[in-house]
Amino acid sequence: MVAAAPRVVVIGAGEGVRRARAARLAGHYTIPLLRAVDVLIKRQPLPTDGYVIDSPPQLLDRVAGTGGPLPVLAFADLVVLLPEPAGCTTEEISRVLRYYDARGALLTVGADLPDDEIILVIDAALRGRGDPEGPPRPPWRP
């Protein structure tokens, strides 16, 4: 079941683009914006009423190491990936992204997509997660 407010992790893209997008999403949903370093390394507790976590892919790589998925981010309703230029991801980052994709929790959107369109896509993806057969393959994903 999805929380009253979404639990979203925004990763990828350049730092400025990602941070701005994460801040706007948090503002739209009126939920806290958290930095991944505070949650993953400093062990800041997660709010129960939704959140947006801003995370660079390199941090996911370092924290995940070889031990599997990131336990604290495993509870996210949705991971929004703003793709970086081709060739910027490592195999370890790809492994973490495959984990979220297999859970049906990975949403890949262009960093230049307007906020209102991303919000529509996030809302649709969150509604689709309740379908026991899974949502149809979204048109915005390759």
DSSP structure class, residue 10: E
Closest CA to 97 of 86, 88, 105, 85: 105
The predicted model scores a pTM of 0.74
Residue 13, phi then psi, degrees to nearest 5: 55, 175
Ordered domains of the chain (ranges, CATH) = 7-116 (3.40.50)
Give the pLDDT means over successive 10-residue stretches in the chain (142 positions).
71 82 92 87 82 80 57 74 64 68 84 88 79 43 44
pLDDT of residue 138: 44
Rg (CA), the chain: 14
pLDDT of residue 32: 93
pLDDT digits (tens, 9 = 90+) for 84-105: 655 555 555 666 777 778 888 8
DSSP output for 12-45: ES-HHHHHHHHHHHHHHHT--EEEHIIIIIS-PP
